[in-house]
């Protein structure tokens, strides 16, 4: 069973000619066929197309030559559907590749499918997909997190070794925690957003899921860097993160965020977190309590800023140029209204209304402007904290993976799933979630937050923990 082997080992076998790309794809395809009916991670599986491409590959070329990668279905892939898990884009075929997709293809990667998500990446459970919910591979009655739940579940179940996701307020890190895999959101501007369907443009960032840190580092390395087609992508050098693990610092000062343990954290999550901290201390790292008082305002701030940007970004879905159009209408205004009413799901409509209200005349200063000021305050507090410590550490999610349907009727409870991931997003900081432990067979994640552009240290911390915990050895759905 090739899919069970470390990706680094498989990659070396490919480059030495001991394994063909077609054999590798076939193995993951077999795993997909055994698990997909249970978890429903993919909206559009592309294994057969990937296998066809793999058979044509002859000479090794590129860092990801012959490696299967799953792609979240809000990232454009030329010639294939990109639905954003929404009825309004159900039959939309992307006319070009997103920059990240072009970059992984240029390095020889093979795309094995488009993964499920909460509609337009708005959600924390992947239950808001217009097509079907995705299930957690560790417990099929529970959610995989969201919005990148399909990507996280595919990597956890090993129907794909690596996946791309997007993170606006925690959409990579929270599902990574719920599915027991590594998920990294890079610094805002590190990775091009060209070809990522916009939710909240000042927050959206593409990142990576994987089971081992070296694999995550390699994929992040490939997709990072300046892109002239995205004015928000930064001209920062991209270090060779995949080669940085021989120089992991022996002693670090890590800030334990006081407020992060006071925000309604489930007892079992807190117990795993405390054991995690003890293990870091035992390794010789110094733990320092850090206070970020504005943290408690992060969720309300986020749920003004993100919906405001969403209401603007989603105005383009009007039934005129592309996507779904209502069948019956009397004039153009009715066509707009009925198309949007029929095409968008309830969570997307809720956020459009929230955002439109926050931006409306008479309310802009009271809501949006104030939220932007609080956002600045949160960023300043992080900056101050980093004068004392090398990185910050918090639980990733306040609870264990919750049951399907448990929070669907309570939007506020659902929004609080992001209480620990939203702050780093508002500040544009890089953050990684690593599997820290298990409670009754369910994974618990811990999050490291770093300084801007310091993905290297976060990856090194992930690697350090991986050597201690060997979390990647656990595989769900083995029976």
CA angle 379, 385, 386 (to 5 degrees): 90
Question: Which of 124, 147, 224, 311 is labelled catalytic?
Answer: 147
Is the preceding peptide bond at 7 cis, omega within 30 degrees of 0?
no
Round to whole Å and give the CA distance between 4 and 27.
9
Would residue 147 show up in a list of annotated catalytic residues for this protein?
Answer: yes
Contact between 53 and 29 (Cβ < 8 Å): no
Run of H or E including 150: helix 149-157
The total of other beta-carbon atoms located within 10 Å of residue 295's CB is 22
Burial of 278 (0-12, 13-18, 19+ CB in 10 A): exposed
Nearest to 368 by CA among 302, 455, 417, 313: 302
Question: Which of 148, 166, 171, 224 is labelled catalytic?
Answer: 171
Would residue 72 show up in a list of annotated catalytic residues for this protein?
Answer: yes
Question: Which of 27, 40, 72, 192 is labelled catalytic?
Answer: 72
Run of H or E including 377: helix 370-385
Round to whole Å and give the CA distance between 302 and 91.
31
Round to whole Å and give the CA distance between 448 and 218.
19
Would residue 171 show up in a list of annotated catalytic residues for this protein?
Answer: yes
DSSP 62: S
Catalytic residues: 72, 147, 171
């Amino acid at each position: 069973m090739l899919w069970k082997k470390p990706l680094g080992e498989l990659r070396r076998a490919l480059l030495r000619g001991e394994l063909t790309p077609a054999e590798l794809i076939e193995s993951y395809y077999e795993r997909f066929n055994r698990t997909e009916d249970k978890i429903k991670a993919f909206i559009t599986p592309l294994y057969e197309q990937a296998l066809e491409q793999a058979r044509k590959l002859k000479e090794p070329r590129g860092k990801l030559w012959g490696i299967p990668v799953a792609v979240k279905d809000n990232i454009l892939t030329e010639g294939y559907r990109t639905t954003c898990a929404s009825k309004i884009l159900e039959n939309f075929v992307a006319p070009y590749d997103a920059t990240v997709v072009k970059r992984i293809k240029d390095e020889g990667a093979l795309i094995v499918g488009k993964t499920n998500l909460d509609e337009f990446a708005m959600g924390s459970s992947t239950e808001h997909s217009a097509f079907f919910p995705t299930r957690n591979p560790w417990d099929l009655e529970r959610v995989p997190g969201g919005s990148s739940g399909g990507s996280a579940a595919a990597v956890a179940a090993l129907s794909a070794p690596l996946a791309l996701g997007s993170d606006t307020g925690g959409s990579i890190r929270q599902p990574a925690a719920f599915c027991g895999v590594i998920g990294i959101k890079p610094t805002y501007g590190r990775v091009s957003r060209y070809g990522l369907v916009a939710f909240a443009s000042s927050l959206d960032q593409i990142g990576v899921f994987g089971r081992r840190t070296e694999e995550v580092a390699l994929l992040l390395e490939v997709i990072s860097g300046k892109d002239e087609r995205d004015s928000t992508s930064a001209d920062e050098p991209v270090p060779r993160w995949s080669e940085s693990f021989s120089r992991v610092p022996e002693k670090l000062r890590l800030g334990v965020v006081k407020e992060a343990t006071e925000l309604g954290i489930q007892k079992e999550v807190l117990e795993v977190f405390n054991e995690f901290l003890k293990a870091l201390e035992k390794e010789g790292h110094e733990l320092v309590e850090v206070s970020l008082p504005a943290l408690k305002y992060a969720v309300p701030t986020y749920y003004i800023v993100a919906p405001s940007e969403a209401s603007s970004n989603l105005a383009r879905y009007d039934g005129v140029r592309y996507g779904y159009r209502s069948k019956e209408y009397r004039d153009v205004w009715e066509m707009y209204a009925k198309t949007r009413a029929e095409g968008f799901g309830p969570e997307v409509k809720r956020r459009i209304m929230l955002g439109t209200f926050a931006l409306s005349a008479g309310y802009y200063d009271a809501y949006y402007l104030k939220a932007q000021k609080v956002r600045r305050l949160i960023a300043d507090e992080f900056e101050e904290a980093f004068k004392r410590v090398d990185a910050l550490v918090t639980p990733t999610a306040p609870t264990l993976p919750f049951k399907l349907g448990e929070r669907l009727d309570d939007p506020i409870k659902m929004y609080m799933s992001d209480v620990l991931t939203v702050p780093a997003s508002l500040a544009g900081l890089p953050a990684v979630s690593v599997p820290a432990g298990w409670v009754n067979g369910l994974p618990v994640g811990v999050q490291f937050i770093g300084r801007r552009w310091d993905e290297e240290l976060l990856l090194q911390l992930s690697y350090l923990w991986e050597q201690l915990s060997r979390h990647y050895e656990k595989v769900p759905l083995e029976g």
